[in-house]
């Protein structure tokens, strides 16, 4: 299993102690991290501009990690973490279950509290029914679900 770490002070992310650099896709796919993950059969291209690592361990929790390198001028570098032990992940292949708003709200609430406790982030800068965001000097951490696609997880974006 791949270890995931983020330094909240500066936004640096490491996977198995290898830095995830903020870069365009063409540089990402030849990076040391990409080659390392590919050599371990851990990296897969999901859809254009999106790469997935099936399971990362972040503290004591298992997540699926999706990496979106810089690809267009209006989309920041992003990682999405989907909690693999939660109700959302268990329902991901059933549209009727995955679109259950009560379940999605519970998942967001659980992840919001978990992230907040792990990093002592305090009150979020923005909080809506389906979204919680902390704005940090280097970027944002958002826990949310999308009201159209019902994608749910922790989204980290960099300025």
Please report, for the chain, the start and end positions of each structural domain, with discontinuous segments joined by +: 2-158
Among 51, 100, 60, residue whose Cα is nearest residue 84? 60
Two structure tokens written together for 139? 């970027």
What is this structure's pTM?
0.94
How far apart CA 129 and CA 70 sit, in angstroms, is 29
Structure tokens given for 90: 């268990």
Phi then psi for residue 67, to 5 deg, are -110, 125
**pLDDT value for 116:** 96
pLDDT tens per residue, range 50-85? 999 999 999 999 999 999 999 887 889 999 999 999
Average pLDDT, the chain: 95
Q: What is the pLDDT of residue 59?
A: 96
Q: pLDDT at position 129, please?
A: 85
**pLDDT band of 28, cuts 50, 70, 90:** very high
Report residue 45: phi and psi, to 5°.
-80, 125
* E strands in the chain: 2-6, 13-15, 18-20, 43-47, 50-58, 61-68, 78-83, 126-128, 131-135, 139-145, 152-158
Terminal Cα-to-Cα distance of the chain (whole angstroms): 29
């Amino acid at each position: 299993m791949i270890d995931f770490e983020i330094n909240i002070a500066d936004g640096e992310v490491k996977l198995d102690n290898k830095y995830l650099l903020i870069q365009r896709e063409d540089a990402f796919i030849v990076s040391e991290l990409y080659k390392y993950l590919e050599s371990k059969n851990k990296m897969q291209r999901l859809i254009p501009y999106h790469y997935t690592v099936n399971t990362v361990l972040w503290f004591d929790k298992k997540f699926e990690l999706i990496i979106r390198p810089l690809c267009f001028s209006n989309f920041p570098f992003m990682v999405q973490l989907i909690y693999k032990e939660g109700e959302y992940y268990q329902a991901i292949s059933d549209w009727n279950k995955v679109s259950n708003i009560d379940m999605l709200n519970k998942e967001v609430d659980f992840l919001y509290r978990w992230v907040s406790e792990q990093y002592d982030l305090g009150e979020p800068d923005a909080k809506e029914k389906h979204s919680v965001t902390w704005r940090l000097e280097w970027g944002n951490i958002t826990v949310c679900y999308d009201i159209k696609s019902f994608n749910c997880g922790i989204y980290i974006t960099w300025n």
